[in-house]
Structure 1
């Protein structure tokens, strides 16, 4: 994929296998609407584009079909895309997963978790200082995943892992838009994450509820307009190409 214009973060792509690279890039192109709904994806054409055999392309299309982003067809697929309803449902499930996790944490020893989260916050601050918005996005996702992992609940992790690939794209694209249009907003995002750490550390139910409400209220109010406004998404795609 050396000569292919990429929308998924290049640094992260370089760490993945050929098949994972194709999958991550196709997912990002579909969610950002660089590849429009209704587009027919051919295994042969995609293989030529990404300079891979048909096997990794076929596997990528299979995974994207399981995520309801494409509809399988003979020797390829048709792009379904992602709707507002899909996005709302993803955040609904995320809300349930993290709400359950926070309730469990109120009854657990969390000193080690708090230390880990504080280190991540420092790395998130550095990422924003150097305007590395993609690194910030990955750290944001890792921050929440670390919290969820801490309760050691197998089926909750299964739900999270099913959400994660598409959620990752949504977070990256929304953070890129913020970086281009309202960089100061990252101060608020960091503050909200600091509040989450404080809530976990102190185990005060009211503080936990406040931290949770602020984080998810912000998510719904800040992210959703991107998915209904083509001009906003065009700005994000242009940022992706520059990166």
Structure 2
């Protein structure tokens, strides 16, 4: 069973914790489309009142994962098209962020990016899927934060929990294909750093495009049960 990394769970509310777990179970298809989520049942499961559960369900509704109903919700899941659109937005954000930081002093940011790659390598060595996924997300978030654009950061933060859950699922699939595939993912991140070190906007643009072309192929393999038709 997939679990969120410990670093992710620090200083979050109970509602966020419940949302994290339900979000991941929906994405890995252990909670299936059409199932009903009961506020009362979830509250009993977590030993809490219905208030944090409502907060969790509202967050999942904002993700498009469920449809709110009286005293609960119906699970919608995400189609492959939904996931691809999520990655379209990621690509636009990261392209903007990388172009925005180019031409500036990137030394401190590049050090942090290399540290994240080292932590991904360490997680791979110890077969720690959750940590690998966390440092994958942190790598990209580092670039976005260094773009110093508050509205872009707000947009990223609104999608961040869903992106983390998707990366956890894709990471599990990557590890299932062996060490060579894990190293391929790490190398993708090295290439992003190498492109940024050139400080050439055309090379950076090509690097972002290549990265997300590969990521969409990984999505297709990791979510084979998703449909193209969508939920609506």
TM-score, normalising length: structure 2: 0.90
Match of 2:182 among 164, 186, 189: 186
Q: Which residue of 2 aligns with 1:17?
A: 13
**For residues 105 and 13 of structure 1, what CA distance do their matches in structure 2 show?**
26
Question: Does 1:39 pair with 2:22?
Answer: no
**For residues 164 and 128 of structure 1, what CA distance do their matches in structure 2 show?**
23
Unmatched 5+ stretches in structure 1? 1-5, 231-243
Match of 2:97 among 58, 83, 101: 101
> Cα distance 1:99–1:14, how it changes in 2: closer, same or farther (>3 A)?
closer
Q: Which residue of 1 aligns with 2:125?
A: 129
**For residues 174 and 14 of structure 1, what CA distance do their matches in structure 2 show?**
19
Is the CA contact 1:106–1:205 (under 8 Å) kept in the aligned structure 2? yes
> Cα distance 1:168–1:32, how it changes in 2: closer, same or farther (>3 A)?
same
Please identify runs of 4+ aligned residues in structure 1 that moved more than 4 A.
Answer: none
Is the CA contact 2:91–2:209 (under 8 Å) kept in the aligned structure 1? no
Instruction: Give the aligned CA root-mean-square deviation in angstroms.
Output: 1.8
Unmatched 5+ stretches in structure 2? 227-232
User: What count of residue pairs does the alignment treat as equivalent?
Assistant: 225
Question: Does 1:80 pair with 2:76?
Answer: yes
**For residues 222 and 69 of structure 2, what CA distance do their matches in structure 1 show?**
29
**For residues 201 and 70 of structure 2, what CA distance do their matches in structure 1 show?**
53
**For residues 96 and 189 of structure 1, what CA distance do their matches in structure 2 show?**
20
Deviations 1:2-50 (A, max 9, x none): xxxx643263576343222211001111111111111111111111122
Q: How does 1:104-119 map to 2 (within 5 A)?
A: 104-119=100-115
Higher relative contact order at CA 8 Å, sep ≥6: structure 1 or structure 2? 2
TM-score, normalising length: structure 1: 0.86
Deviations 1:141-193 (A, max 9, x none): 00000001101001111111122111111111111111122331121111121
